[in-house]
Amino acid sequence: MLKTYLPLNGGLRIVPDVDSADVPREALWIDLFDPTPEERQAVNNTLGLDLPTRADMEEIEVSSRLYAENGALYMTALVLANSGTESPVAGVVTFALVRNTLITIRYTEPQPFRTFEARCRRGTVPATKAENVLLDLLDVIIDRLADIQERASTEIELISRDIFDPDNTQHPITSREFQDVLRALGRKHDLAGKIRESLLTISRMLAFLQQALDTMPNKDTIPHVKTLTRDVNSLQDHLNYLTSRLSYLLDATLGLINIDQNNIIKIMSVAAMVFLPPTLFASVWGMNFQHMPELSEVWGYPLAWAIMVISAVVPYIWFKRKGWL
């Protein structure tokens, strides 16, 4: 899909139904979403570029993601998509700055792009240069990451309450509930990892962009870049806190599971110790010997029961006083 945005009265307006063979050169922003080979070639021909392919975009080397070529800047970052679902995706997005045109290439549809496109349609995006469009778009992306972290922080707080709720002493968490808690923590760890990866690539991209802008005569966008860099750094610090808290909750949950299992094993061990003496006496009197005086007496059967009960009660009282039960 090819979307083209032209400057209009200091803002942006979308050009509907752009023919891939007729891409306007005066476009301020060209958005390629899952582009066809024809759409990619049309942009290459119009602007004299060699846009990276999807395989190129997925290269993890910094030199493959951040580079300058023939006067154009190519910057690739990971942007989070489907963050509201249980299967978030960190998709690669390439931002290309060539002269006064911003080109974005993506194969996922993150929420910030829909938000930014809606602002463009309402005419609330002041844009006269491609650099401003890029920074405004990055601003929306970073704001979205901040919102995701805030929501994740709230959900982690709810998980923490479920684990350490004082009412759980009366109604302990069951094994199935422990499994649900572990799955929830695992999903939050996965989300935090994708956020970290996205912030890292954006941070590198901003550093590369600032270095490139320092060589240009017009440096009015550098303060905006520095502001975005500070925002990214603050999000990374907060993410470090969330990650450490997730690790603590995971360790605490595993500790509670071990305690629960140890209690079960302790009960079984105590039960075995309690019933061991009665079993011993029952085994002795169950032997097939002819000369066992107790068996021929009237009081032999009650005596056997009394001794077996006493031998079971005495260890129980002993364990109870020791605090082992």
Tens of pLDDT, residue by residue over 10-42, are 677 777 666 656 777 778 888 888 888 888 888
Contact 12, 29 (CB under 8 A): yes
Whether the predicted pLDDT of 168 surpasses 60: no
Would you state the CATH architecture of domain 2-260? 2-Layer Sandwich (3.30)
| Average pLDDT in the chain | 81
Give pTM, 2 decimals: 0.77
187 and 86 in contact (C-beta within 8 Å)? yes
Which amino acid is present at 97? Answer: L
Residue range 302-322: mean pLDDT, rounded: 79
pLDDT at 171 over 70: no
pLDDT value for 272: 76
Quick one: fold of 265-322? Methane Monooxygenase Hydroxylase; Chain G, domain 1 (1.20.58)
| Domain map (residue ranges) of the chain | 2-260, 265-322
Say whether 13 sits in a helix, a strand or coil. strand
Distance from C-alpha of 65 to C-alpha of 52, rounded to nearest angstrom: 10
Taking only the tens place, the pLDDT of each residue in 225-265 is: 899 999 999 999 999 999 998 888 888 888 877 877 777 77
Q: Answer whether residue 46 shows pLDDT above 60.
A: yes
pLDDT at 203 over 80: yes
pLDDT of residue 143: 92
Distances in Å between the alpha carbon of 225 and those of 28, 60, 80, 205, 208?
Answer: 19, 23, 20, 10, 10
The reported pLDDT for the residue numbered 290 is 64
Provide DSSP, 16-76: SS--TT---TT-SEEEEES--HHHHHHHHHHHT-----HHHHT--SHHHHEEEETTEEEEE
Query: Where do runs of H (alpha helix) occur along the chain?
Result: 37-47, 54-57, 62-65, 111-122, 130-164, 175-214, 222-285, 300-322
The mean-pLDDT minimum among 48-62, 145-159, 167-181 falls in 167-181
Report the percentage of the chain scoring pLDDT > 90: 14
